[in-house]
Amino acid sequence: MKYNLNYTAKSKDRYLSKSNDWDNWMESHKSYTSALEFSEVGSEFWILNSVSNNRIGPISFDIYIGFNKSLISNNTYEYLNLFSGITTYFQGW
C-alpha cells in the first residue's frame, strides 16, 4: 500500500519593466492573479507476484490500482484520476 499527500503553493509572478503600473497589473488585477495553491491526495495498492519465493504460477507479474484526487485547487484545475495496470516480466535463459 502506498499513500501520498502533495502540497504546492506559488506566489504571484514578478514583472520588471519601465512601467510600474504595467508590472502591478500583470501581477494581479480584478479576477486574476498568478498565485496558485494546490493540494492532492492519492493511494495505490499493489499485488506483487514478481518475487520468486512468493510467486503464484510460472509467470511473474505485478498488478496495481490507485487514485489521485485534488483537495485544494486555487487558481488551477481540480481532478480525480483513477488508474490500474499490470506489469509482466518475461525472461529467457
Average pLDDT over residues 65-71: 96
Averaged pLDDT score across all residues of the chain: 88
Average pLDDT over residues 25-34: 78
Which position has the higher pLDDT, 84 or 91?
84
The tens digit of pLDDT for each residue in 50-66 reads 877 778 888 888 999 99
pLDDT over threshold 70, residue 92? no
* Structural domain that includes position 59: 2-89
- Residue 17, C-beta contacts closer than 8 angstroms, at least 6 positions apart: 23
For the entire predicted model, the pTM comes to 0.67
pLDDT at 89: 81
Strands across the sheet containing 60-74: 2-10, 36-49, 60-74, 80-89
pLDDT at 76: 87
- Give the number of domains in the chain: 1
